[in-house]
Amino acid sequence: MITISGKSVFGGVSIGKLLFYQRNDKVIKRTHVEDVDAEWNRFQEAKDTAVTQLKGLYDKALADVGEANAMIFEIHQMMLEDLDYIESIENIIRTQEVNAEYAVATTADNFAAMFSSMDDAYMQGRAADVKDVSERVLDILSGADTGLKEMTEPCIIAADDLAPSETVQLDKSKVLGFATMYGSSNSHTAILARTMNIPAVIGLGEGLLQEYSGREAIIDGFTGTLYIDPDEATLKEMQEKREKDLEQKALLEQLKGKENITKSGQKINVYANIGNVSDLGAVLKNDAGGIGLFRSEFLYLENTDFPTEEQQFSVYKKVAESMAGKKVIIRTLDIGADKQVDYFNLDKEENPALGYRAIRICLTRPEIFKTQLRALYRAAVFGNISIMFPMITSVGEVRKIKEIIADVKEELKNEGIPYKEDVELGIMIETPASVMVSRELAKEVDFFSVGTNDLTQYTLAIDRQNSKLDEFYDPHHPAVLAMIKMAAESAHAEGAWIGICGELGADLELTEEFLKMGLDELSVSPSMVLPLRKRIRECE
């Protein structure tokens, strides 16, 4: 038995096979070939295999997420059949007498550069698509096994770390837990684990070897331990520990349908944070009062191009209808920093957490922002949708947002498209600047939602993605709590309500403190709704 210690980011016990997330590290070399006809046939066979894979992905996506979201796989099929693309590859193979891999990679680079240089935003988006379909063909040609395309059984996912764009592609129904070599407790792997209610251990270091892939493993999310090839005594102990945990969760089930009310009669709303439509089942199962944070950026992370207005409208409408009149707060695009999307073509930044991200992208690229706002205002007809904006630092930003909203409403009105006029608007309080001018901001909006992850990061001047700084990252710091209290006082003074949608909302040690501050709402991972309700009902 091999025992590796790390850091727990979500409790619980998972038992199953370990499966390593593979990345494509292939190097494309230019090699001379004698038989160009055979090489051309190699490409054609790989292309046909890729088309077959894409058809399968389309069918799966159609069943999982609907036609609008599945359309990307049809587009990729068409790109692989594009005559200009195919002729370029054939020309390079035959005239230069080189291998198919080199011809595909060169064509991909040339076409991507051509698309990127165009003025039209739609055509610029094709750059990422041509790269994506070419990578698929290159994987087939080189026999590379990348990612987790085939998860045939439930397993524990192991990796050095996982980017947001990688976690969204996982078949979440088959993920038993996460075990990573690196990462911080505030990484997206950790947040996803808490959302999915599955055990996760990070910081396992170099001791987590790829050769362990396929072997039996146990994650003890309570102690932050990973066991490889556990002995019988450890397996028995962990099975008992898992049963006990499940029993405690069963007791929490009795709180369903109960109010979030203290012994002295103070009420508070408890909502859930989600990343996409597939999380709706967990929201309803855990009896959340609404959705306090829908991270709309995952629509962008899951796509290889800007999601269209219809794609977004379909998703927002489904969420609103599924929640049947309960509040659904959708945060506008929060791309940048650790959430990078290739087709946005964002420049590399020395300090991305302080850089071009979130509302700063939306206000300087209004064509992207307007598409999302149109979809949101249209979907609001079908339920109780509120909209909130991230990374706000000034009143001027909010007023500029309102001007763009006015333009969007006017467009929809002139086009005869139904939309909701009076959508509730709010902002994220996640910068010290927004706290310091919170009284003025409260006059402009209906509500505040405190993003405690970023607020802590910016208040303490600590990069929350840097695992070396975990011991200094203190969300309980008096300065952070003082910021939240000040924002709450400002909101209530101007008739706005305030909640928390950051990870701190689920910190049961602070629940009583938040109640004393008079917070109106706490939004947490679906799995934390009932434990938080239990804690609230125990408070005086």
Q: Looking at the predicted structure, is the pLDDT value of residue 337 above 80? A: no
Can you tell me the distance from the alpha carbon of 291 to that of 529, in angstroms, rounded to the nearest whole number?
A: 11
| Structural domain 267-538, CATH architecture | Alpha-Beta Barrel (3.20)
Q: Higher pLDDT residue, 67 or 57?
A: 57
Give residues with Cβ within 8 angstroms of 189, minimum separation 6. 9, 159, 161, 162, 167, 178, 180, 183, 200, 202
Residue of 76, 155, 362, 501 marked active site: 501
d(CA 374, CA 196): 30
Spell out the domain ranges in the chain: 2-22+149-251, 36-142, 267-538
Cβ-proximal residues to 259 (8 Å cutoff; 6+ apart), any chain: 267
Any catalytic annotation for residue 188?
yes
Q: At what angle do helices 395-414 and 366-379 cross, to 10 degrees?
A: 60
Query: Where does the pLDDT of residue 163 fall: very low under 50, low under 70, confident under 90, or very high at 90 and above?
Result: low
Task: Specify the pLDDT at position 430.
Answer: 95
- pTM listed for this prediction: 0.62
453 assigned to a ligand binding site: yes
pLDDT value of position 286:
86
Determine how many CB atoms are found less than 10 A away from the CB of residue 150.
7
Give the model's pLDDT for residue 433: 97
Query: Architecture of domain 36-142 in CATH?
Result: Orthogonal Bundle (1.10)
Beta pairing class for 225-228 and 216-220: antiparallel
Q: Do the annotations mark residue 430 as ligand-binding?
A: yes
- One DSSP character per residue, 140-187 reads HHHT---BTS---S-EEEEES---HHHHTTS-GGGEEEEEESS--TTS
**What residues are paired with 373 via a beta bridge?**
none
Axis crossing angle, helix 121-142 with helix 36-65, rounded to the nearest 10: 120
Handedness of CA 365, 367, 373, 379 (dihedral sign): negative
CA atoms within 13 A on the CB side of 271: 25
| Residue 23, pLDDT score | 63
Is the Cβ–Cβ distance between 160 and 137 less than 8 Å? no
Mean pLDDT, residues 97-115:
90
> Tell me, what's the pLDDT at 133?
86
Average pLDDT over residues 108-128: 76
Catalytic residue flag (residue 32): no
pLDDT value of position 532? 95
36-142 has the same fold as 2-22+149-251: no
Catalytically annotated residue among 155, 188, 362, 477: 188
Q: Provide the pLDDT for residue 148.
A: 53
Q: Say yes or no to pLDDT of 98 above 90.
A: yes
Q: Where is average pLDDT lowest: 193-197, 244-248, 261-265, 297-301?
A: 193-197
Q: How confident is the model at residue 69 (pLDDT cuts 50, 70, 90)?
A: low
CATH topology of domain 2-22+149-251: Glucose Oxidase; domain 1 (3.50.30)
Residue 414: predicted pLDDT: 96
Q: How many CA atoms lie within 13 A of 465 on its CB side?
A: 13
Is 331 one of the annotated binding-site residues? yes
Residue 82 assigned ligand-binding role: no
List, in order, residues 6 or more apart from 251 with CB less than 8 Å away.
none
Predicted pLDDT at 172: 75
> Is 136 among the annotated ligand-binding positions?
no
User: pLDDT grade, residue 257 (50/70/90)?
Assistant: confident
User: Is the pLDDT at 396 greater than 90, yes or no?
Assistant: yes
Q: Which residues pair with 227 in a beta bridge?
A: 3, 218
Q: What is the DSSP string of 315-381?
A: HHHHHHHHTTTSEEEEE----BTTB--GGG-PPP-SSGGGSS-THHHHHHSHHHHHHHHHHHHHHGG
* pLDDT reading at 71 higher than 80: no
